């Protein structure tokens, strides 16, 4: 999974001092637009916790 969408990254930089919500949102958008890497495991776990009925 190393398909970098350079254009997306140039226009969607991760802000400094992000909240957990901001990080989750950025990574979800990133996943839809770029395949350079997967969502970090800790964030995946947090996303799962927030979705009722999903495990």
Per-residue pLDDT reduced to its tens digit, 3-15: 899 999 999 999 8
Number of domains within the chain: 1
pLDDT at 51: 82
Average pLDDT score over residue span 16-41: 95
Tokens of 30: 């990133």
Range of the domain at 25: 6-50
Return the percentage of the chain with pLDDT > 90, whole number. 82
The sign of the CA dihedral 26, 32, 37, 41 is: positive
Q: Is residue 55 part of a domain?
A: no
Q: Residue 30, Cα to own-chain centre: how many angstroms?
A: 5
pLDDT at 1: 52
Tokens of 48: 């799962």
Q: Is residue 1 part of a domain?
A: no
């Amino acid at each position: 999974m190393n398909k970098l969408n350079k254009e997306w990254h140039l226009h969607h930089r991760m802000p400094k001092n992000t909240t957990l919500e901001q990080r989750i949102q950025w990574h979800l958008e990133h996943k839809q637009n770029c395949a350079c890497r997967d969502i970090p495991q800790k964030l995946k776990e947090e996303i799962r916790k927030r979705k009722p009925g999903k495990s």
